[in-house]
Amino acid sequence: MLGVELCGIRLDSPLISASGILDERAESMLRLLEAGASAVTTKSIGSGERKGNDNPVIAETECGLLNGMGLPNPGIDAFAREMEIMRNRRPDGVIIGSIFASEADGFAALARRMEDYGSSAIELNLSCPNARGFGDEVGSDPDTVLEITREVKRVTDIPVFVKLTPNVRSIVDLAKACEEGGADGIAAINTVRGMKIDVESFQPILSCRIGGMSGPAIKPIGIRCVYEITGEVDLPVIGIGGVLCGNDVVEYIMAGASAVGVGSGIHYRGLKIFEDIKREMLEFLERKELRLDDIVGIAHRR
C-alpha cells in the first residue's frame, strides 16, 4: 500500500535515508535498510579523503541540529570497499550514491565511479554551508547547476537527483536548470544556514561559526520549496527536512514529493523511526479512506 516508483526504481515505501546519517560505512548502511529504509543515500563522497572541520561540529538547538561537519569522507577510492560489502550483502538494496565536487568534470568523474560501484542512482550534493572551499555558491547559480547536471547525465546511465540548497532567492530557478540539464529528479532541501553563540564565552559554538540547520525548524521551508518546485517543474522530488513522524511525510507528499528523506529524525527517534512512520502513514490513509497515490500533490489542487 505504501510502495512507490521513483524514476523506474521500485521502492517498498516512500522513505529514504537522507545523506549524512549512518551512511559512511557499509555496516551502518545495512542497518538502515534492515530498519525499514526503502533506499539509503550514502555519505557525500569526494575525490579524495577529507577530514572535515575541527570540533565542535554539532550544536543542538531548541528546534533542531546545527552541523559544521565540513563534508568529512574517505574519498571515492576507499569508498569502493564499502560499496562492495553492500552489494555482496544486499544485492537488492537501493543505494543512492551522493557525491560532491567543485566543478562539472569532478562531478562527472565521481558519478562514473559510483555507477561502477553499483549505485542505483546518483545524488549531486551541490551545496554545503559549512565546508571550506565548497559552499552554497556551487549550487546557487542556475548556469552552474545546468552545466554540472548536463555533464553528469552525459556520462551516466542511472537516475540523477540534484540536491538543492534553500539558501537562495529562487529555488525554482535552480530546479528549472536541473530540468534543462536533463536531471531525472530533485532532492529538496539541503540544510539551512544557521548559527549558535555561547553567551557565556561570547563566541560561536561551531568551529566553522556558521553551519547547516536540520530538524523540525526547517520542515516548513522544505515543504514550501517542494510545493514551489513541483508547481513549476515536471520532475519527481525527494522531500527532505524535519521529518519526525508519519504526518510530516504525508505533508511532503501533499506538497508534491514522490519520496521523502529521513535524516536528523534518526537522532530524535532512533532507527525505529522508519517502521513507526510507515505505521502512522497507514493509520492516516485508513482513517481517511485514501490510497497514497490519492494525496500526491493534492495541495496543488485545493
Angle at 64 between CA 79 and CA 248, to 5 degrees: 85
What pTM did the predictor assign? 0.96
Cell representation of residue 246: 508519519
Q: What's the CA gap between 85 and 31, in Å, rounded?
A: 13
Please determine, for residue 136, whether its predicted confidence score (pLDDT) is greater than 80: no
Q: What's the CA gap between 200 and 228, in Å, rounded?
A: 41
What is the DSSP secondary structure assignment for residue 54, as one 8-state letter?
A: P
Label residue 302 by pLDDT band (50, 70, 90).
confident
Cell representation of residue 259: 519520496
Q: What's the CA gap between 286 and 13, in Å, rounded?
A: 16
Tell me: the pLDDT tens digits for 138-160? 889 999 999 999 999 999 999 99
Across the strands, what pairs with 50? 73
pLDDT of residue 154: 98
Please determine, for residue 164, whether its predicted confidence score (pLDDT) is greater than 70: yes
List of E strands, the chain: 4-6, 9-11, 15-17, 39-41, 58-61, 64-67, 95-99, 121-125, 160-164, 185-188, 192-195, 197-198, 203-204, 210-214, 237-240, 259-262
What is the DSSP secondary structure assignment for residue 72, as one 8-state letter?
A: -
pLDDT of residue 130: 64
Q: Where are the domains of the chain?
A: 4-301
Chain position carrying cell 536528523: 264
Tell me: the pLDDT tens digits for 239-254? 999 999 999 999 999 9
Q: Average pLDDT for residues 112-119, to the nearest whole number?
A: 98
Please determine, for residue 263, whether its predicted confidence score (pLDDT) is greater than 60: yes
Q: Average pLDDT for residues 16-42, to the nearest whole number?
A: 96
**Is the omega angle on the peptide bond into residue 236 within 30 degrees of 0, that is, cis?**
no
pLDDT of residue 233: 98
Q: What's the CA gap between 114 and 106, in Å, rounded?
A: 12
Tell me: the pLDDT tens digits for 56-72? 999 999 999 999 999 99
Q: Side-chain half-sphere of 285: how many Cα atoms within 13 Å?
A: 20
pLDDT of residue 135: 58
Please determine, for residue 53, whether its predicted confidence score (pLDDT) is greater than 80: yes
Please determine, for residue 133, whether its predicted confidence score (pLDDT) is greater than 60: no
Choose, from 63, 128, 225, 245, the residue flagged as catalytic.
128
CATH number for 4-301: choose from 3.20.20.10, 3.40.50.300, 3.50.50.60, 3.20.20.70. Answer: 3.20.20.70
Please determine, for residue 35, whether its predicted confidence score (pLDDT) is greater than 70: yes
pLDDT more than 70, % of the chain: 97
Is 128 one of the annotated active-site residues of the chain? yes
Closest by alpha carbon to 235, among 274, 186, 277, 193?
186
Q: What's the CA gap between 230 and 74, in Å, rounded?
A: 35
Please determine, for residue 75, whether its predicted confidence score (pLDDT) is greater than 90: yes
